[in-house]
Structure 1
């Protein structure tokens, strides 16, 4: 799930870098969208697939140019707005890594099955369709490893690193996943 950015667009996705969103058979000229706006399968901008900055530039005519708006646009959406792709991605990774941190060290076959089912359903229901399809493809290449807490935590860390590599972000040392998400840093900074 490429939930941290919107640069990834599968070839089946409508173009969102100024190209038309599609035609409906009417005489209306095709609408152009700013670079970075990801379109949903319905041809309309997908809020949960697009960064706030791209979304704001798409709707800038409805925003008033004030100093506080300019500051907000460069950072993140106001807290009471629907999440953009970055906010959704950060929250998602926090949830998934927290699930890994509390997953049993020696799960029963039923718990392993539940985790695999959850991950399959989660990847189908994820709000950013581009991210969802990307994560589904990852899971087809690398089955969810659910045999233990350590196994799942490492699998998830590698999945997250795969997304980070695609986005040009730094990767995380997976040997430290449990320290980051379960026990806290050895230096006591989390105590």
Structure 2
């Protein structure tokens, strides 16, 4: 895994200019490269992707001014459902799916259900579209084996995995003793009823 490029860090990519110049091209902060050396859309935030696109347009059309680009560019809106997801949209959807699976996982799962869940989690870490995120999750799985003995056990394990990501992103941690309220039963104050 190439740990050199993480969310929030700038990256330099050896992208070939139209003139055939082999000089590395500095990418905007937050743009993550895929394993193919090209910017990875599902690994990059919408804001960083838009900045890169705007910079590419400016470089490809030096006659246009920044003012024109800003005027003609749509306002950044990473919540457009008909666009490929950025890393943040993908992450939110992923955590919703995973926590929902934990919420529906039985309290007394059969051996087969436990095996299926372990297989799912391992395959998920291999197939996740953001390769940097996938590698990070695989590393977590190597340190913290998924606990699939019961729904509560898996829910708390998953909450711990989510908190590991939250710490890396500088986000607040969630109180894992309340995971069922958040993802299964709803809050005790009744706002989900």
Q: CA deviation at 1:32?
A: 2.5
Higher relative contact order (CA 8 A, sep 6+): 1
RMSD (Å) for aligned C-alpha atoms: 2.2
Distance (Å, rounded) in 2 between the aligned partners of 1:116 and 1:138: 14
Aligned to 1:79: 81
Q: TM-score if structure 2 supplies the norm length?
A: 0.84
Pick one of 66, 70, 73 that aligns with 1:65. 70
**Aligned ranges for residues 72-111 of structure 1 at < 5 Å?**
73=76, 76-111=78-113
Distance (Å, rounded) in 2 between the aligned partners of 1:90 and 1:109: 30
Aligned to 1:17: 10
Distance 1:77 1:32, change over 3 A: farther
Distance (Å, rounded) in 1 between the aligned partners of 2:13 and 2:99: 38
Aligned to 2:41: 47
Aligned to 2:117: 115
Pick one of 167, 170, 175 that aligns with 1:168. 170
Distance 1:183 1:53, change over 3 A: same
Distance (Å, rounded) in 1 between the aligned partners of 2:175 and 2:21: 54
Give yes or no for contact 2:5–2:32 (8 Å, CA) kept in 1.
Answer: no
Distance (Å, rounded) in 2 between the aligned partners of 1:124 and 1:18: 24
Aligned to 1:32: 26
Q: Answer with 1 or 2: which has the greater Rg.
A: 2
Aligned to 1:150: 152
Give yes or no for contact 1:77–1:84 (8 Å, CA) kept in 2.
Answer: no
Corresponding pairs, count: 176
Distance (Å, rounded) in 2 between the aligned partners of 1:181 and 1:107: 19
Cα distance per residue 1:69-111 (max 9 Å; x no partner): 23xx2x5252211000000000000000000000001000110
Distance (Å, rounded) in 2 between the aligned partners of 1:159 and 1:99: 14
